[in-house]
Structure 1
Amino acid sequence: MDRTEKREFVASLASVFAETSMVVVTRNAGLTVAEVTELRRRMRAAGASFKVAKNRLATLALDGTRFEGIKPLLKGPTALAWSRDPVAVAKVAVEFARTNEKFVVLGGALGAQALDASGIKALSELPSLEELRAKLLGMLQTPATRIAGILQAPGGQIARVLAAYAKKDEAA
């Protein structure tokens, strides 16, 4: 890379850090191209991104962002994963690390809060944003169906009483 390409890369990475909520730092020494491609495919499916970046350029891009706490993790063969949904990127990274010994989650940052590997693992065990939305929607809909059932019950009872009187009158 020449200087202008490096500047553009640092600027694009800095804009990514400004827009995202979660960054995970991983060690990816010895991964094959097929394994990295599979990891990128999983990240994309979860709405996350995965990029191998030179540590020096990533450090420059981190300057002035809320993710400066991850600078000490940028040593050796590292890669960055990020997403707006913090749980999604953590889930994919931890799940891939379980199945691949060469891929190690070093840590990351959720906003200005730096996390170690155990913090990322704990975050990955939380329900995703979509799961939380579904649960919230279910909780909101449940009272509405109960209210509708309660409102319909008196009308049904009145109809049954009237039907019983009608049958009584017919029999008499």
Structure 2
Amino acid sequence: MRPEKKFLSIEIQEWLEGSAYILFVAYSGLRAEEFRELRQRLASVGARCRVAKNQALTRILRESRRLPEEWTLKGQVAAIAHGDMIAASKILKNFVAEFTRPKLLGGLLDDRTLSAAEAAALAELPSREELLGKLLGLLQAPATRLVSVLSEPSRALARTLAAHEKQQEGAAAT
């Protein structure tokens, strides 16, 4: 292997290392400023979009046993990796709605391949922040109910005393 190709392969391997997912998009027809805009939006959630030679990317992914033999990357393909996968897929979905390109081809999640439909469905999932909020609400709900149950006798006593006081005032007025 020529030194340039070896350097490129090492660079791609290092880029993909540590990412639990990769989304593949066909970016043909996307203008340079639109592609720059997509990269900036993805960078805001920690995701990075990169163009690599299909042959090199395919070889590296097959060597790492992440890409099955039946998958082939053809045409102008970019890979998106790192950061929050759900946020990246939401950004990609919104970008496609705005510019009609790029086309989501599919992806890899750990060692599982994702079809284009499965990868697109990720954009419908709640974000990490939403899930954390729901979890916090679930954790707080029993404590809130317990406080409510424990404070009810004192509230009932206060209501009873207030009603008794009102009754006494009404009797004293007559």
Q: Which moved more, 1:160-169 or 1:94-103?
A: 160-169
Higher Cα Rg, which structure: 2
- Show CA shifts across 1:110-158 (max 9, x none): 1211112111111221112222111111221222222212211212323
With the length of structure 2 as denominator, give the TM-score of the two structures.
0.81
Over aligned residue pairs, what C-alpha RMSD do you find? 2.8
CA distance in 2, matches of 1:95, 1:166: 63
Q: Which one-letter code corresponds to 2:147 in the other structure?
A: A
Q: Which moved more, 1:13-22 or 1:158-167?
A: 158-167
CA shift, 1:103, in A, is: 1.4
- Asked if the contact 2:95/2:101 (under 8 Å) is kept, the reply is no
With the length of structure 1 as denominator, give the TM-score of the two structures.
0.81
C-alpha spacing 1:71/1:111, structure 2 compared with 1 (3 Å): farther
- Asked if the contact 2:27/2:77 (under 8 Å) is kept, the reply is yes
- Asked if the contact 1:50/1:81 (under 8 Å) is kept, the reply is yes
Q: State the aligned residue count.
A: 171
Q: Which one-letter code corresponds to 1:147 in the other structure?
A: L
Give structure 1 stretches of 5+ with no counterpart.
none
Identity within the alignment, %: 37
Secondary structure of the residue aligned to 2:68 is helix
* Match of residue 88 from structure 1: 87
- Asked if the contact 1:62/1:71 (under 8 Å) is kept, the reply is no
Give structure 2 stretches of 5+ with no counterpart.
none
